[in-house]
């Protein structure tokens, strides 16, 4: 097992990408700290991990946009397991709105969770890793909209573009502490959020798939392998990197 004895904090792990990463880390032997604002979703993930792996699990109901909540996440994780080796920042929301009618309240709401939350988690966990002196791994989640424009995504694109630049900056800043900070840019992944947008007619599956060379939407499990690479010693000389996992969507110049 590649993560035997490691401790992984995974935000947004009640469902979707975060849930898949938490399960993937647990299958490789890591002890898992599950983070979400919805405790019932965490309990479902906890039950799966306890029933299918030998990993220990801690569940924490918290808001990553709250500095005090994020500090509590670090304190409770260290109290339970003695350390944090891996941070996966998967908590996030989407925001779809014509830019001319996007309210400032919704703009701030999107950036608070996606960008502020990622920064706070990196900052507080980073301080622990630096003090501990044994390095660590951080995996942030950006998006294809951090690289290419999609209409009516101004707040979401700004937040994910910010996460991309934050990742690169922290990767450079903390390399001297043996902390590797990288990010994954998912394409169209079949999460609850994407399925909801499809059901509302915001996304058209046939149009989405037409641009994806792989010929299908991604599944949350498609992100587990890349995340494991970034969480293990295999990526010890990789930092400040943005790994695109999109079935070729961004590389495709033919539409």
Catalytic residues: 156
Query: Among 37, 21, 12, 170, which Cα is nearest to 86's?
Result: 21
**Dist. CA 250–CA 149, nearest whole Å:** 11
Query: Among 35, 1, 37, 40, which Cα is nearest to 19's?
Result: 35
Pairing of strands 179-186, 242-245: parallel
**Dist. CA 106–CA 255, nearest whole Å:** 32
Q: CA-based Rg of the chain, rounded to a whole angstrom?
A: 17
**Dist. CA 170–CA 160, nearest whole Å:** 15
Question: Do 214 and 189 form a contact (C-beta atoms < 8 A)?
Answer: no
Please list, in sequence order, all residues whose beta carbon lies within 8 angstroms of the beta carbon of residue 145, skipping any fewer than 6 positions away. 153, 156, 157, 160, 161
């Amino acid at each position: 097992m590649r993560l035997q004895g490691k401790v992984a904090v995974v935000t947004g792990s009640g469902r979707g990408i975060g849930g898949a990463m938490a399960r993937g880390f647990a299958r490789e032997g890591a002890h898992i700290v599950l983070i979400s604002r919805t405790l019932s979703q965490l309990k479902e993930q906890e039950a799966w991990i306890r029933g299918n792996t030998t990993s220990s699990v801690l569940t924490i109901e918290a808001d990553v946009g709250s500095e005090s909540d994020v500090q509590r996440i670090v304190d409770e994780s260290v109290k339970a397991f003695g350390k944090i080796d891996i941070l996966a920042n998967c908590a996030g929301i989407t925001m779809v709105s014509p830019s001319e009618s996007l309210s400032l309240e919704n703009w701030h709401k999107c950036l608070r969770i996606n960008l502020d939350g990622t920064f706070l988690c990196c900052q507080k966990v980073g301080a622990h890793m630096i003090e501990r002196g044994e390095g660590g791994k951080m995996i942030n989640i950006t998006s294809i909209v951090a690289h290419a424009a999609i209409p009516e995504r101004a707040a979401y694109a700004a937040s994910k573009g910010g996460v991309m630049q934050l990742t690169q900056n922290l990767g450079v800043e903390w390399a001297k502490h043996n902390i590797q900070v990288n990010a994954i840019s998912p394409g169209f992944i079949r999460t609850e959020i994407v399925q909801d947008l499809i059901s509302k007619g915001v996304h058209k599956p046939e149009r989405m798939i037409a641009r994806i060379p792989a010929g299908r939407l991604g599944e949350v499990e498609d992100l587990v392998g890349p995340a494991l690479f970034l969480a293990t010693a295999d990526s010890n000389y990789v930092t400040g990197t943005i790994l695109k996992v999109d079935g070729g969507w961004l590389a495709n110049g033919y539409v």
